[in-house]
Amino acid sequence: MSESEKPALATTESLETRRISQVGMKALVRTLLKHKLSRLGLTCICLLILMAIFAPVLAPYHPNDQDLYNVLKGPSKEHWLGTDNVGRDLLSRILYGARVSMTVATFATLGAIMIGAFFGLLAGFKGGVIDSIIMRTTDTFMVFPGLIFILMMAAALGPGMKNVVIAIILFGWTGAARIIRGQVLAVREEPYVEAAKASGASEWRIMFKYVLPNSIAPMIVVTALAMGAAVGMEAGAAFLGIGVQPPTPSWGRELRTGYSYLERVPLFSIAPGALITLAILSFTLVGDGLRDALDPRIRGEGKKIK
């Protein structure tokens, strides 16, 4: 399902095995923009980020202002999307909801990728026992179904946005670690690494100065896909009642409350859900575009056809 149950970072597992060619940032952006669907995705992501930043300017009401004389009203001139069960303006709550969603996705993804990159680098570069221990640990983590793992962790850690971020990081680092490791295995055999070794550079310096920067290219694909997965997981957890607590507006929670009033005010649950879907979809499209841009085989083919 979801999405929510998206195999998170594991969806990009195929990246593990193939070495992606190094592409300049400029060329990457150019190819990405040529791709119609990823251009659309990128535009939507920018809009969502602007929405999160400028929510206080854009929102017609304060998201927690209640108007108990106007509860569960459909769309009107005063309230474009209608009101919720305690008379709060739905549009304002949805605009503010972008903040939780984007913040959680950004921090969870960055955290997972930083931790994953560190362990993946260590495993791939050091090899041997360290590699085995790290890889068997990722195997163990990956055996747990995503949403269930996050739900249990978030329940163990207690409510709050920070704990959802930690839960998603704990689940997501493994995928990043495996992909980086695959790249490192190829990069560490490169002549420049050997040259660095010969010139007496320390191991850590070689790892972070030479191996890591040259192994990082596929992470950009992973980042995009993981952002989408994180939005889905945050929303799923919030929908099930874990994570950000009321009255902070969050799409997953709005949807949950709105679900109880589906017959009276369908927009109450349908509108926040549409935003969640839009966010996940946009990240998936950008991830797909980046993957195609980085995959030398697909890149070559595109030229032949057009």
Partner 1 sequence: MGMKQYIIRRLIYSFFILAAVSVLVFAMVRLLPGDPIRAAMQQNVDLTDDKIVQEVRARYGLDKPIHVQYVIWLTDFFQGDWGISLSSGEPVLHMFLRRLPVTLELFVGATLWAWIIGIPMGVLSALRRNSWLDASFTTVSVLGVSIPSFWEAILFIYLFAVILKILPPSGYVAFFDNPVQNLQSVLMPTFVMGTHAAGSFARYIRSSILEVLNQDYIRTARAKGLREKAVLIKHAAKPAMTPIVTIVGMSWAHLLSGSFIIEFMFAIPGLGRMGLDAVFARDFPVIQATLIVGALNVLLMNLAVDIAYGFLDPRIRITK
Interface residue with partner 1 among 147, 187, 220, 221 (CB under 8 A) is: 147
- Toward partner 1, which CB reaches closer, 97 or 236? 236
Tell me how crowded residue 134 is: count the other CB atoms within 10 A of its CB.
Answer: 22
Q: How far is the CB of 294 from partner 1 (least distance, A)?
A: 14
Would you tell me the crossing angle of helices 219-239 and 146-157 to the nearest 10 degrees? 60
> Is the distance from CB of 118 to CB of 172 less than 8 angstroms?
no
- The Cβ-side half-sphere exposure at 41, using a 13 Å CA radius, reads 24
Report the alpha-carbon distance of residue 9 to residue 2 in Å, rounded.
13
Using CB atoms within 10 Å of the CB of residue 104, give its burial: 0 to 12 exposed, 13 to 18 middle, 19+ buried. buried
Tell me the closest approach of the beta carbon of residue 144 to partner 1, in angstroms: 6
Q: Is 130 in the site for partner 1 (CB under 8 A)?
A: no
Quick count: other Cβ atoms within 10 Å of Cβ 63?
Answer: 21
Considering the complex, state which of residue 60 and residue 74 has its C-beta at the smaller distance from partner 1: 74
Given the complex with partner 1, which of 156 and 198 has the nearer CB atom? 156
- Cα–Cα dist 208/196, whole Å: 12
Query: Pick from 76, 140, 202, 260: which binds partner 1 (CB under 8 A)?
Result: 140
Give the largest CA-CA distance in the chain.
77
176 binds partner 1 (CB under 8 A): no
- Is 29 near partner 1 (CB under 8 A)? no
Q: How far apart are CA 63 and CA 67, in angstroms?
A: 11
* Smallest gap from residue 14 Cβ to partner 1 (A): 8
Burial of residue 154 (number of CB atoms within 10 Å: 0-12, 13-18, 19+): buried
Give the contact letters, 263-282, x = binds to partner 1 (CB under 8 A), - = no: x--x--xx--xx-xx--xx-
Nearer to partner 1, 60 or 241 (CB): 241
Provide the 3-class DSSP secondary structure of residue 88.
coil
Give yes or no for residue 145 binding partner 1 (CB under 8 A): yes
Q: Tell me whether residue 6 or residue 178 sits nearer to partner 1 (CB atom).
A: 6
By CB under 8 A, residue 167 contacts partner 1: no
Among 56, 74, 158, 213, binds partner 1 (CB under 8 A): 158
Binding site for partner 1 (CB under 8 A): 1-7, 10-11, 14, 37, 136-137, 139-148, 151-153, 155-158, 228, 232, 235-236, 239-242, 255, 259, 262-263, 266, 269-270, 273-274, 276-277, 280-281, 284-285, 288, 297, 301, 305
